[in-house]
Amino acid sequence: MGFFDFLKGPDINQGVKEYSTTDDAVLLDVRTPDEYAAGHIPGSLLIPFDEIKVKSDQLPQNKNTEIVVYCRSGRRSAIAADTLISLGYAKIYDLGAVSSWTYGLEK
């Protein structure tokens, strides 16, 4: 580990790779519908960060399901992760910014 490694955020590419190999995991895009329509990681579910509580019926019933969240810059995904934890979800992974995604986005 290098001296400045603590400055690095989560690696969204590695996180999505791990998500894709985990049974029943959910990849959650917490941006706006317009941002999602402009391009999102394939296989992701859209629930805007400020609608998670009211749309919780779209989330897995099993609170131990791994939920991987991302947004545009990392701010909303952090808020979403806190909200999911407050709803009782135990395995939340905040990948931060979709701008760090190096593979193609789906429209």
Report the relative pairing of strands 45-46 and 66-71 from DSSP bridges: unpaired
Please give the pLDDT value at position 80: 98
- For 37-59, b/e burial (b = at least 16 CB within 10 A) is eeebbeebebbbbebbeeebeeb
Please give the pLDDT value at position 18: 80
Tens digits of residue pLDDT in 30-44: 999 999 999 999 999
Output 13 or 35, whichever has higher pLDDT.
Answer: 35
Q: Which is the catalytic residue, given 26, 69, 71, 80?
A: 71
Please give the pLDDT value at position 3: 44
Tens digits of residue pLDDT in 45-88: 999 999 999 999 999 999 999 999 999 999 999 999 999 999 99
The amino acid that residue 47 corresponds to is I
Catalytic annotation on 90? Answer: no
